[in-house]
């Protein structure tokens, strides 16, 4: 590992990781108490990817995320209030309360959105990269997808097209071991999804997705390659979701022993202990950071529940129809 964060940067990124973890724990609690409705897909355990990708990019680089999108949306700059409001179906939500957990968007911070359709964002990202190339922009697009989505045809078509046209896109695979209830060992034909890059003439690498310094450096290196060589790049980050696939998943397809082994690789544990060893943090300060983030998110949720600025039918129709009708 070459990169070492200084105290200020390390604490800032640790705070971002904590925010992502606490936010999703709050979401899980709100769904369990029936304060939120619908479904959600948590990425608890994948915070090193959330906090390691967007901060390593230029602010005007774009991202397109997956249905497991909360941490990426936070890391790119979206407000907690706007995201929570969206989950509650409130008018001040990032998608006016119409999108919910799987359809978050924040154009102000160059987040082109997420989709419930597995792998669909990769094709959109490839098209955006084509437009950036036509505009002779120095910016790039990050297309997130998972190990489950890696087998979809649209992923392969997009990588092939990006390679042919030399498009500025970073294909970023979050390999979290399971696609729904299917283990990647039984569903993916290669040991590393990064190996598939060579089939399309795309440079690639695979790194530890639970170590934020490793992720940050890998994204920086990939982004530099894309800008300088003007070619796409495939990056696989190996991580693990501690939660189930969705809110009702009891994780019966994996053992508690497996989960315990991965808990030793908890990205928050790894990075906080590293900062403590470097003298940048104490155990007490780490506990206080978690408490502060949890209290802040609780206050925002309580405020939104009290106000309940729900979108009316008329307001919703105004985003779809002109003057309340079809023309």
Nearest partner of 267 among 43, 7, 73, judged by Cα: 43
- Please give the pLDDT value at position 247: 84
Question: Residue 303 domain-assigned?
Answer: yes
**Helix-then-strand count for the chain, H and E:** 12, 7
* Count of structural domains, the chain: 1
Q: Specify the CATH number for the domain of residue 308.
A: 3.40.50.970
Question: Residue 189 domain-assigned?
Answer: yes
Q: Rounded distance, CA 273 to CA 178, Å?
A: 27
CB 179 within 8 A of CB 143: no
pLDDT tens per residue, range 243-291: 989 888 889 899 999 999 999 999 999 999 999 999 999 999 999 999 9
**Per-residue pLDDT for 325 more than 50?**
no
Question: Residue 153 domain-assigned?
Answer: yes
Nearest partner of 88 among 309, 245, 313, judged by Cα: 309
Range of the domain at 214: 7-318
State the chain's maximal CA–CA distance in angstroms: 65
Question: Residue 327 domain-assigned?
Answer: no
Pairing of strands 182-183, 203-208: unpaired
- Please give the pLDDT value at position 51: 97
Question: Residue 326 domain-assigned?
Answer: no
Question: Residue 261 domain-assigned?
Answer: yes
Taking each helix axis from N to C terminus, what angle separates 80-88 and 7-32, rounded to the nearest 10 degrees? 10
Instruction: For the chain, give the percent of residues with pLDDT over 90.
Output: 81
Question: Residue 120 corresponds to which tokens in the numbers above?
Answer: 């669909």
* Local structure of 169: helix, strand or coil: strand
Question: Residue 275 domain-assigned?
Answer: yes
Question: Residue 119 domain-assigned?
Answer: yes
pLDDT tens per residue, range 19-75: 999 999 999 999 999 999 889 999 999 999 999 999 999 999 999 999 999 999 999
């Amino acid at each position: 590992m070459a990169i070492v964060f200084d105290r200020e940067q390390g604490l800032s990124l640790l705070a971002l990781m904590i925010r992502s973890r606490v936010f999703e724990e709050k979401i899980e609690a709100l769904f369990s108490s029936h304060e939120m409705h619908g479904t959600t897909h948590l990425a608890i355990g994948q915070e090193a990817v959330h906090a390691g990708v967007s901060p390593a990019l230029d602010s005007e680089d774009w991202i397109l995320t997956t249905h497991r999108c909360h941490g990426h949306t936070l890391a790119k700059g979206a407000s907690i209030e706007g995201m929570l409001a969206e989950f509650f179906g409130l008018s001040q939500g990032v998608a006016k309360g119409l999108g919910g957990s799987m359809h978050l968007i924040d154009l102000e911070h160059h987040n082109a959105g997420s989709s419930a359709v597995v792998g669909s964002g990769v094709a959109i990202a490839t098209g955006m990269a084509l437009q950036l190339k036509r505009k002779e922009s120095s910016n790039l697009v990050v297309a997130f997808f998972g190990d489950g989505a890696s087998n979809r045809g649209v992923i392969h078509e997009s990588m092939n097209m990006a390679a042919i046209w030399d498009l500025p896109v970073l294909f970023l695979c979050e390999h979290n071991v399971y696609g729904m209830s299917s283990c990647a060992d039984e569903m993916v034909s290669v040991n590393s999804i990064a190996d598939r890059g060579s089939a399309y003439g795309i440079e690639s690498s695979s790194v530890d997705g639970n170590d934020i310094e490793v992720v940050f450096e890998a994204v920086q290196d990939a982004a530099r390659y894309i800008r300088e060589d003007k070619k796409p790049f495939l990056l696989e980050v190996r991580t693990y979701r501690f939660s189930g696939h969705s809110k009702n998943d009891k994780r019966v397809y994996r053992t508690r022993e497996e989960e315990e082994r991965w808990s030793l690789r908890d990205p928050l544990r790894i990075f906080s202990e590293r900062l403590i060893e470097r003298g940048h943090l104490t155990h007490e300060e780490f506990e206080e950071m978690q408490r502060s983030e949890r209290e802040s998110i609780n206050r925002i949720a309580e405020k939104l529940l009290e106000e309940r600025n729900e979108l009316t039918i008329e307001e919703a129709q105004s985003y779809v129809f002109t003057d309340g009708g079809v023309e």
